[in-house]
Amino acid sequence: MSWLTAEQALNLLGTKSQTLYANVSRGRIRAKPDPSDTRRSLYFTDDVKRLAARNAGRRRTEAVAADAIQWGDPVLPSALSTVAQGRLFYRGQDAAKLADHATLEEIALLLWDMRRPLRRPEGQGGNGRPPALTAAFCALAERASTDLPSLGRSLPALQTEAESVLGTVANALAPGLPHLPLHQRLAAAWNRPDADELIRRSLVLFADHELNASTFTARITASAGATLSAAALSGLSTLTGPLHGGAWQGVRSLIARAAAIGAEEAVRSYLAEGRPIPAVGHPLYPDGDARARALLACFTLPPLFAEVRGVAEELVGERVNVDFALTAMTSAYHLPQDAPLIMFALARTVGWLAHAMEQSTSGRLIRPRARYVGPPVE
């Protein structure tokens, strides 16, 4: 997360202070009080840069495109989800409000634009096998080489296949009785029935998040006409990175340090080493991750997590995000250590398939150009 002083913002914009304040009042630039001096304000860097680029009109096309790839403006149209006014929306509906009552299966209906009931993914019964990411990788890889390519197929045909692919992932990540909804299957597999409602809420909140890294990867795969299972597999591979679905491990490391030396000393040591505090702040939510708020309101943080949250938010000036909330929930309900990634992967499979179908039916190949910076061409 990055914020600018008024002087820095004015330097980038090349305008008078009155113009800066007008842009804030019109919602074009987000602002917050400066923690070091509440009489002053800080201005969200991305908003200032975006407005400066739009007003200047002098930047080369390739420079604008390069910025767009890194937390910039959308690089392709999608009707599935967006973050607007600090909230996450699925096809125009507030995801946090949907999480109050919906299941992941119902979100699949919404994101996939289904006009018929979703067939419940088939389970393999109570075989005692725990949820395993490796099993999901293997099952998707096996399908990817035998399923039909997505190119040239109708949306109803792709929707039917998406149900099957979701079932394949569910058998690996939420093995259990087929008559149960996925959140109950997962709670039962972990022998934590008391956590089933929070698992349900988490699955809904994680189902999609516009063009994040794994979703963009899945869309690129689908744009080449690959199978839906291949698109889901590419998304799953990207999800495992520590800057994406693997962020929970950074939270665990911070909590472990806090347990050893105290919360404040742990946070201060990260900052003194020039390391970002794991799971604090989010570029799309300058006022706080709406998904984290929706989760944190539903359970009591373990004492050490609560202490780390308080210190981190005070010293960094940003709020904890959903990766922190999910890791804290895992600890509070004594779920397996890899539970955050399991829930993330199961939920986001719905989003990957939605984006893959949207991209496939568009008939467009995603193929950016590179800005060559190598040795001179002879």
* Positions marked active-site: 244, 282, 323
Instruction: Write the single-letter amino acid at 263.
Output: A
Tell me how many degrees the CA angle 70-224-349 measures, rounded to the nearest 5: 65
Token pair listed for 294: 């929706």
Question: What single-letter DSSP state applies at residue 194?
Answer: G
Between helices 322-332 and 247-261, what is the axis angle to 10°?
Answer: 60
Cβ-contact 56, 11 below 8 angstroms: no
Q: Please, is 132 exposed, middle or buried when counting C-beta atoms within 10 Å of its C-beta (0-12, 13-18, 19+)?
A: middle
Instruction: Write the single-letter amino acid at 125.
Output: G
C-alpha–C-alpha distance, residues 81 and 363, integer Å: 20
The CA-to-CA distance between both ends of the chain, in Å, stands at 42
Per-residue burial over 242-276, b = 16 or more CB atoms within 10 Å of its CB, e = otherwise = eebbbbbbbbeebbebbeeebbbebbeebeeeeee
C-alpha–C-alpha distance, residues 305 and 320, integer Å: 11
Cβ-contact 279, 324 below 8 angstroms: yes
Cβ-contact 89, 81 below 8 angstroms: yes
3-state secondary structure 286-336: CCCCHHHHHHHCCCCCCHHHHHHHHHHHHHHCCCECHHHHHHHHHHHCCCC
